[in-house]
Amino acid sequence: MNRGTLRWVAGLGLASAILLALAFREQFDAAALDAWVTAAGPAGPVLFIALYTVATVLFMPGSVLTLAGGALFGPFWGTLWNLAGATAGAALAFLVARYLGGEWIERRMGARLARVSQGVASEGWRFVAFVRLVPLFPFNLLNYALGLTRIRFLPYVVASWLFMLPATGAYTYLGYAEREALAGGEGRIRTALIALALLAAVAFLPRLVSRLRQGPMLAVDDLRQALDGKTDLLLLDVRTAADFNGDQGHLPAALNLPVEELPERLAELGPRLDRRVAIVCRTDRRSARAARILAGAGFTDVHVVRGGMTAWLEHGWPVASPPPPGE
């Protein structure tokens, strides 16, 4: 199941949680919850932030705590306390990896650590911002992995705090909406709709950011000119091997690396993250997906060939024919 599907499944699950909250609101005592927060006084937020920090370091899921923060403290203060706990946990994990547990993290991350290191070397704090908005790696593990890169501590913390804000705010509001649904407040339907709208926006944000990063589209005319000019261009065909050798043929200079295998085979593209890369498929949909993967790995000059092989063949330009049957 890909990440996009997982996000929509998670959204449906959270929507179901709101509906269940509406159904069982009579069994919920909102006054008791308010009383607990009030009785804790200034210690309440401090204890909550400490719990969130420890949970992050120990690889515990933060989504549950984020929802709880919204239910306990409301959308505004809940977002602040959730963000403080997540940032403190991310900072502590970063320091642990940098000064104490580097070898364990290297074994846990494997080849993914090289991708993170390359991304940071190429883009610095902007890479941190990107992976906070687009969940290419597990959040808790990423905190440790970034501690083994060359990024400085302060830019890491600032970028993490700022770019974790959209998702934190949305999930905090969802926790608040669930509480309102359980309490049976008059505005519970409106609150639930706002929560779902925020979740939809957060689910769409990674797609938008990735599309902005995937680089400009490259017309087939420009691709042919680049190939004829013998420029330093890596042409990547991300169709399956069957399609690569199928009825459309392929461009002679193309390297076939199916998009489904791309994350595990990035090392085959070489160490140069600034090399110009053109990506082709049958049209350009799989190419766009591959471009997002390359951008996430730190490649900085990635182009999607508009129209793909279909557009190339419409011009009648030559391709490498598939091998005869039996060969």
pLDDT (tens digit per residue) in 62-121? 888 898 899 889 999 999 999 999 999 999 999 999 888 677 777 777 777 877 887 787
Question: Model confidence over 173-202: pLDDT tens digits?
Answer: 988 888 877 766 666 677 777 777 877 777
Residue 102: name the closest of 148, 151, 150 by CA: 148
Dist. CA 169–CA 73, nearest whole Å? 12
- 17 pLDDT band, cuts 50/70/90, is very low
Task: Give the class (CATH, top level) of 217-314.
Answer: alpha beta
Q: Record the pTM.
A: 0.59
- 27 pLDDT band, cuts 50/70/90, is very low
Amino acid identity of 125? W
- 213 pLDDT band, cuts 50/70/90, is low
- Is the model's pLDDT at 146 over the cut of 70? yes
Residue 102 CB partners (closer than 8 Å, separation 6+): 147, 148
- Is the model's pLDDT at 288 over the cut of 80? yes
Q: How many helices (H) and strands (E) does the chain have?
A: 14, 5
Dist. CA 268–CA 10, nearest whole Å? 34
Domain extent listing, the chain:
3-212, 217-314
Dist. CA 49–CA 157, nearest whole Å? 16
Dist. CA 182–CA 180, nearest whole Å? 5
Question: Model confidence over 226-268: pLDDT tens digits?
Answer: 998 878 899 999 999 999 999 899 998 899 999 999 988 988 8
Tokens 């199916």 found at? 258
At 315, is the secondary structure helix, strand, or coil?
Answer: coil
CA 13 centroid distance within chain: 19
Dist. CA 323–CA 127, nearest whole Å? 42
Q: What is the mean pLDDT of residues 281-298?
A: 85
For the beta sheet containing 302-305, the strands, ordered from the edge strand earlier in sequence to the opposite edge, are 217-218, 302-305, 276-280, 233-237, 255-256
